[in-house]
Structure 1
Amino acid sequence: MLLGNDDRAAPMNGRETGRRGFLTFAAAALTALAVPALVPAAPALAAPLAGGVRRLTLHNINTNEQFSGVYWADGAYRPDALKKLDVLLRDHRAKQVGRYDPRLFDVLARLHQTLDSDEPFRVICGYRSRRTNAMARRRSRGVAKESYHTRGMAIDVMLPDVELKAIATAARSMEAGGVGYYPRSGFVHIDTGPVRTW
């Protein structure tokens, strides 16, 4: 399994944040309350997808399994489809299934629509157990200790019919979370954490 160097600048846990982090957060919260006009609008993710259903096609290169179908219809996510996606994106090394943030599927569906691709997303890395993530950290400095992969909020993908840089550019323009561009490794990292790029 290829393991991506993922989500840099992941939020720190409470012990690591300390007083400075709390003060920064408090100042930002007070500013937002005092000046509501300066609070940014909802991220680009709020823009509707075309049509009354949302479809997604993924191919996991590690297990050679695929999902192709509707995961959202009639104004709601389809639990059966979400379960299938969770299994598809499981940590096959640890044989663990994580529960995915369905907003990530919305990002991928919008991205696929924007790029007008005829190919399924090739999944390089989906969910990672903490054990698999620790192993990835030993191999690479770029893997975050609190990776969004361990939270079911990140995926590393590519499209055979779209240049990697175009995928990264389109994902960044959506401002729906973190986007990392890894041309040497051949994938783009996408997550539903804070908006940031690398």
Structure 2
Amino acid sequence: MSAWQPSPEAPAALGLELELDSVRELALPELPGAELLPAWQLGKPPSADAVFVSAARTQRCQPWQRPYSVSLARYGGEHDSFNLLECDGSVALDALDRLSVVARPPGVERPELPLPLEPLAESEALGEWVPNVRLLDPRLLWVVARLSEAFPGRPIYVISGYRRDGHGSFHKKGRALDLFVMGVANEAVMRVCRTLKDVGCGFYPNNKFLHVDVRPPGTGHAVWIDVSEPGQPSRYVDAWPGVVESGALSWGNGE
């Protein structure tokens, strides 16, 4: 995949061995708020020399900073566990490949990992890397990592990611995910999402999932509430108890 990914020697994962179909719904305590991850560094890709990180650098990570494996699930019972970020906030080896594969449309065969170093010619014209798999915006790794950090040990189920027929939406651009954190109320996940800078957060009280997307710097905190039932046209409201007191209509549908 892309040559600027750092750290081929990621710290050992803690090995979350969760059985995805056996997670029970638990009562959710008040969310104390998540600690910030280290500064996001993707705006300044490392030099070629920095791609090869020594073991000595890895050992400089304090034990409480070392990344852990995040469990992700998707349609069809498929699941994967891997590190998203290194302790300095840089992208873990193959993390973007693996999250992009999890986010492919339903019914698309799982491609071999890691993905090719260059996009296939027939896919590149469509903005894809291989057929029906688009590389996600790397900032989504940070968003998913923040959600996982707020709810340790909870698998994250990806309902929808890349959509080839998304008609210009964030999904078509590889910048959005519809997801839920297993065993956690969506209201609590929204409280975390709304703390993330330049991230869109869509709440759907009559659906299982919530929407997250990444936006240009300076956008702020985009939020919207869609109270439509599954399969019905969208219907937006300005507020929802436990999510936002007012102002959600100012973002319309968030796009």
Question: TM-score when scaled to structure 1?
Answer: 0.61
More helix per residue: 1
Structure 1 CA distance for aligned equivalents of residues 67 and 170 of structure 2: 27
For 1:196, the equivalent position in structure 2 comes to: 222
Structure 1, gaps ≥5 residues long = 1-43, 134-144
| Structure showing greater relative contact order (alpha-carbon pairs closer than 8 Å, 6 or more residues apart) | 1
Compute the displacement of 1:121 (Å). Answer: 0.6
Picking from 59, 64, 68, the partner of 2:81 is 68
Picking from 206, 213, 226, the partner of 1:184 is 206
Structure 1 CA distance for aligned equivalents of residues 87 and 223 of structure 2: 33
For 2:79, the aligned partner's letter is Q
The answer to whether the Cα contact below 8 Å between 2:85 and 2:142 also exists between their aligned partners in 1 is no
Compute the displacement of 1:91 (Å). Answer: 1.8
More strand per residue: 1
Picking from 168, 176, 187, the partner of 1:165 is 187
Higher-Rg member (1/2): 2
Tell me: CA distance 1:147–1:45, structure 2 relative to 1, closer, same or farther (3 Å): farther
The answer to whether the Cα contact below 8 Å between 2:136 and 2:174 also exists between their aligned partners in 1 is yes
Structure 2 CA distance for aligned equivalents of residues 72 and 149 of structure 1: 22
For 2:158, the equivalent position in structure 1 comes to: 123
The answer to whether the Cα contact below 8 Å between 1:55 and 1:70 also exists between their aligned partners in 2 is yes
Structure 2 residue 104 is the aligned partner of structure 1 residue 104: no
The answer to whether the Cα contact below 8 Å between 1:117 and 1:162 also exists between their aligned partners in 2 is no
Matched length = 140
Query: What root-mean-square deviation, in Å, do the aligned CA atoms of Structure 1 and Structure 2 show?
Result: 2.6
Structure 2 CA distance for aligned equivalents of residues 81 and 47 of structure 1: 17
> Within 5 A, what are the aligned runs for 1:147-162?
147-162=169-184
Tell me: CA distance 1:112–1:98, structure 2 relative to 1, closer, same or farther (3 Å): same
For 2:99, the equivalent position in structure 1 comes to: 85
For 1:5, the equivalent position in structure 2 comes to: none
For 2:207, the aligned partner's letter is S
The answer to whether the Cα contact below 8 Å between 1:178 and 1:189 also exists between their aligned partners in 2 is yes
Tell me: CA distance 1:150–1:91, structure 2 relative to 1, closer, same or farther (3 Å): same
For 2:158, the aligned partner's letter is V
For 1:48, the aligned partner's letter is P
**Helix, strand or coil: the match of 1:53?**
coil
Tell me: CA distance 1:71–1:169, structure 2 relative to 1, closer, same or farther (3 Å): closer
Structure 2, gaps ≥5 residues long = 1-33, 40-63, 109-130, 225-255
**Helix, strand or coil: the match of 1:87?**
helix
